[in-house]
Amino acid sequence: MIALCSLRQGRLGLAAMLATLAAALPDARAHDWYPFECCSARDCAPADNVVRREDGGYMITARGITVLVPWWFRPWRESPDGRVHICFRQFAGIGPVVLCAFRGPGA
């Protein structure tokens, strides 16, 4: 009986680990296409929320942080998956600074 419970626990643990890895894979693959100058393997993320402002800028939320991309930000790059992505660094005393921004056609 003890061996059977141990076997079930082992299988459940393995299933949980595989599910966690599978959930993490899309984010890991997303980092494969970010250009080096934009990302240090932690600076870029797909947007969780995008709001277009009346002045033409964007409020983009990613990783729980909202970043302003001003209307005059011109180096937008094309996003290979058609989604909005933002690369930024958080600086003490300054806040988030946009490094790169990606958007799909028509965004």
pTM: 0.67
Cβ proximity of 76 and 101 under 8 Å: yes
Q: Look at the domain 31-103 and name its fold.
A: OB fold (Dihydrolipoamide Acetyltransferase, E2P) (2.40.50)
Q: How far is CA 45 from CA 26, 41, 74, 77, 102, in A?
A: 11, 10, 19, 14, 10
Cβ proximity of 87 and 47 under 8 Å: no
Give φ, ψ of 42 to 5 degrees.
Answer: -150, -5
- State how far Cα 5 lies from the chain centre: 39
Comparison of pLDDT for 8 and 80, the residue scoring more: 80
45-84 residue pLDDT tens: 999 999 999 999 999 999 999 999 999 998 899 999 999 9
Report pLDDT for 17. Answer: 46
Cβ proximity of 96 and 65 under 8 Å: yes
